[in-house]
A and B are shown apart, each in its own frame.
Chain A
Amino acid sequence: MSNFVNFSSAAAEAEDKARDIKEFLTSPDVIVFPFSSPCGRHFSVVFIDGLTDKDLLGELVVKPLKEVGTQGDERDIALLLASPEVKECKDFNEAVSGVLEGNALLLCGGVEGGYIIGLKAPPGRAVTEPPTQVVVKGPREGFTEDIKTNLGLLRKRLKSERLQVEMVSSGKRSDTAVAVVYLSGVCRGEIVENLKREVEENEIDIVPDSSYISSFISKRPRSVFKRCGTCEKPDILAAKLCEGRAGVIVDGSPIAITVPYMIVEDFQAAEDYYITSYRASIIRAIRLVAVLVGVLLPAMYICAQLYKIQLIPIKLLFNIASSVSSIPFSPSVEMFLTIMVVEVLNEASIRMPKYVGMALSVVGALVLGDTAVKAGMISTPAIMIVAFSAICLYTVPDLVETTTTLRLLFLIVAGSVGVYGVVLLAAGIFCYLSGEQSYGVPLLAPFAPMNGRDLKDALYKSNIYSLKRRPRSLSPQDKVRLRSDKK
């Protein structure tokens, strides 16, 4: 880029500088708009069509310069601009980055470099309720793909001088903006340092979503179990930051990442904090049981059929026996096929357009299911068990990726080794998880290592007046969350 000497020269005219930029950014959507002031001074504005707000450009930049003539130095030009976000730019690379980000670049003769004016207006959707974290009671705002909007939504909830936003970038070619957010004096410093280092260290072409960042910052990215929490709502992120976690907001992704992560987080829904503690505790217990049932039920059904018939009550046993008598597959194969059908239907219903999705539900659930049973390919209990298992797993949607994988694993072990294999696998998973950490916090905290005080918001949801301290497992700097005499 050393050839583009005009840009940095104070002697060069605006047109020459714009030509330099245009020679480098040859794409037709990079627009150069030249204009002059009444006193005859020439200006050029470079921007990307579709990314920059043209109305504001006209109102805040072009209009003031056209109305008032100036021959003064660069300070005068900056003062005339009505935009609140004006930055001097003398480096060619910086100017190009500014334009590519969607800002306008103002160039004029007699001035070294130009001005980057913050007029970004990338196309984006409005703030809506996220589909994965729907609540009946409580805030409904969700993050969007725009990092500024997301930071604004967070600031709206945390009007604290302690809320720190540290901008880093990731992606060699995408140069994606990544914001590391935390509350200073609450979140441990080493978490933020490690987080920033791990985000910056990775050299990848493009970071299209925050899931890439979560892979970068995980110590074991190949593990079935995730190491970062995710949330799509600013109220949840704000609450997590207040507990002593750090957050990562990635431009282009509506999902924020939080660390340190504990598995128990996924069992805590936002609504738990907006309803009575009794109801919340019951729902949490149901979620836990549902996940256990969802993962283990198909495997236990196979074990009962193949190895331990006594597990099934005698009347039900007769019904099952009559259902499976004509099935040509072994119980394991039958269950595996049924799960595959459900997974395929699930995948197709997500990807297909909505109007086809409705038809697919009818075809999948009614025609395929009913016909398969009538044709003697799959038994009714198998369909029922897989369907119930799928429903159970979706009670904790953030863990679905993990639980569906585990369900398959348990199924294979149950079919090959039997109940003892299932018990051993469960023990193995617990043994593995006991040794795993996320940013120094054990994944199974506050159960292992047990922390009695943190159990108030884990195993059950205690009243808000009982949660006076931040989770000890996270080792926050400021430990007190609530000062009140109420008990």
Chain B
Amino acid sequence: MIKNELTVRQICVIMCALSASLKLMICPTALAAACANGLWLPVVVNSALSSGAVFVVCLLCSRTPKGFFALLSSAFGKVAMRVAAGLFALYFVLSAVIPMTEQQTMVHEVFYDTIPSILTFLPFFLLSLYAGAKGLTNAGRTAEICLPVFAVCMLFLVVMSLSECDFANLLPVFGRPAARVMAGGASSLFRFDEGALMLIFSGKFRYRRGDAAKIAASTAAGGLIVAAVCVIFYAVYGALAPTQYFAISKIALFFPAINLIGRTDIIAVYALDMVMIFALVLRVQAASYCLRVLFDKAYMPAFSVGINAVLLTVTLLLNNKFADVQRVGGAVMCVAAAIFSYVMPLVAWLAHSVGAMRAKREGSREKI
């Protein structure tokens, strides 16, 4: 029996708004450096891949009410399920590291005029600790609160930035060599890991006809929002884009009224940061859920404490090593994301098939 921890709408919001928000920090700048005016192409390609992976998982949800780990358990046994849960927990913890360092750097650069100490970022772990101890229901509900915040802030920032856009900067549209676009896509693949999240959500919602299309379309919509921000970012800054970190805080900088009303665009960035925080915390919640499966226990604060202790240690160790984290972490996480977001959905299908065959065999044996 499915315990409906999430609704389809909540999953759609997570895939569209929360996932997109995490890609708005460094991703546009990194892609501008890699692909110049073709920065939006890798986003579109990766979004299509990610939507495809999500669609594959959703199709599986339409066949069986079981979740990913339950499928693994019925097909390959409990040990395999626990190993997978442990690996997924590790993956979600690691996948939080890069966005967390980006968040930390963004906070230090955008939120403060001076360079504050690392202590200003540490309260994040209090929230992460608290939210991590809560279940996926809480994640879904907070995502729903984030939707209007995300929509209003994005609209506000995009409208403010449109007046300074020079879309000629993006021409020629397909002028970049395919190899560079591919390289850009590969380097940012780890940011498009919605497939892994969807595996965690499988079995947590009641699937109805057409939900697969809805969720996949939401994922694609999130990707398109990121692509749109990339386009606007490059249209505003042109060749200077690779030197402008945290695109979302820069795109509306030249809005004419800012001299009169102050940096109101930053208020939208602050509000958007709340969405980013929830998107980051979602990784902790997912990891916490995986640990719950691993140890076969109800939600325990200890899981959240453990995960946050690891993240806190990593933050302290990697303080001021933003570039190294981006370079090394990006390379490692691309491989990890490819496995957990794109290969694992296929493993889930395999588990479903094996489980179905085994059930059929046991059924026929009982008949005999």
Contact = CB atoms under 8 A, between A and B. Distances in A.
Interface of A: 300, 307-314, 316, 417-424, 426-428, 430-432, 434-435, 442, 444, 447-450
A310 B113 contact: yes
Nearest to A307: B112
Given A313-B262, A316-B262, A430 B127 contact: no
18 contacts: A300-B267, A307-B114, A308-B263, A309-B113, A311-B262, A417-B120, A420-B120, A420-B273, A423-B270, A427-B127, A430-B145, A432-B130, A442-B141, A447-B144, A447-B148, A449-B140, A449-B144, A450-B144
Nearest to B258: A313
B260 A431 contact: no
B138 A426 contact: no
A103 B25 CA distance: 73
B73 interface: no
B120 A418 contact: yes
A435 B107 CA distance: 27
A28 to B, nearest CB: 60
A432 B7 CA distance: 19
A435 B138 contact: yes
Given A308-B266, A435-B141, A424 B111 contact: no
Contacts of B267: 300, 311
B274 interface: yes
Contacts of B131: 431
Interface string B86-118: 000000000000000000000100011110100
Contacts of A307: 111-114, 116
Given A310-B263, A431-B130, A450-B10, 5 more contacts: A308-B111, A310-B266, A313-B260, A417-B123, A434-B138
A449 B278 contact: no
B323 interface: no
B1 interface: no
A448 B144 contact: yes
Nearest to A450: B144
A222 to B, nearest CB: 17
Contacts of A442: 141
Nearest to B116: A418
Interface in B110-156: 111-114, 116, 120-121, 123-124, 126-127, 130-131, 134, 137-138, 140-142, 144-145, 147-148
A434 B112 contact: no
Given A420-B107, A435-B138, A444 B145 contact: yes
Contact of A430 (B142, B261, B266): B142
Interface string B301-335: 00000000000000000000000000000000000
Interface in B241-269: 259-264, 266-267
B259 A314 contact: yes
B180 interface: no
A422 B116 CA distance: 15
A446 to B, nearest CB: 10
Given A427-B127, A448-B141, A313 B112 contact: no
B9 interface: yes
Contacts of B112: 307-308, 418-420
A424 B123 contact: yes
A231 to B, nearest CB: 26
Given A307-B114, A424-B123, A447 B145 contact: yes
Contacts, number: 107
Contact of A449 (B10, B121, B127, B148): B10
B338 interface: no
A313 B259 contact: yes
A427 B144 contact: no
A448 B114 contact: no
A307 B112 CA distance: 5
A199 to B, nearest CB: 29
A311 B116 CA distance: 18
Contacts of B264: 311
B137 to A, nearest CB: 8
Contacts of A447: 144-145, 148
Interface string B260-302: 1111101100110110011001000000000000000000000
Nearest to B137: A435
B274 A427 contact: yes
Contacts of B260: 313
A458 to B, nearest CB: 12
Interface in B157-196: none
A418 B116 CA distance: 10
Among A300, A418, A448, A449: residue with most chain B CB under 10 A: A448
A428 B137 CA distance: 15
A300 B112 CA distance: 13
A449 B262 contact: no
Contacts of A312: 262
A385 to B, nearest CB: 14
Among A421, A424, A435, A449: residue with most chain B CB under 10 A: A424
A419 B270 contact: yes
A51 to B, nearest CB: 51
A417 B148 CA distance: 26
Contacts of A419: 111-112, 270
Contact of A428 (B120, B130, B263): B130
A300 B111 CA distance: 12
A444 B130 contact: no
A314 B130 CA distance: 39
A449 to B, nearest CB: 6
Interface in B202-229: none
Contact of B126 (A313, A418, A428, A444): A428
Contact of B142 (A300, A308, A420, A448): A448
Contacts of B277: 423-424, 427
List 10 A-B pairs, minimum CB-CB distance, nearest first. A434-B141, A448-B141, A313-B262, A448-B144, A310-B263, A419-B111, A450-B144, A427-B274, A307-B112, A420-B107
Nearest to A431: B131
A423 B144 contact: no
A423 B273 contact: yes
Contacts of B278: 427, 431
Contacts of B141: 434-435, 442, 444, 448-449
A427 B123 CA distance: 12
A301 to B, nearest CB: 12
B270 A435 contact: no
Given A418-B112, A419-B270, A428-B126, A311 B145 contact: no
B249 to A, nearest CB: 11
Nearest to A426: B274
Given A435-B138, A448-B145, A450-B144, A423 B259 contact: no
B250 to A, nearest CB: 13
Contacts of B281: 431
Contacts of B114: 307
A311 B142 CA distance: 27
B262 A423 contact: no
B18 to A, nearest CB: 12
B122 to A, nearest CB: 9
B356 to A, nearest CB: 33
A301 B7 CA distance: 39
B142 A434 contact: yes
A431 B142 CA distance: 6
Nearest to B278: A427
Nearest to A422: B270
B21 to A, nearest CB: 12
A300 B113 CA distance: 14
Contacts of B130: 428, 431-432
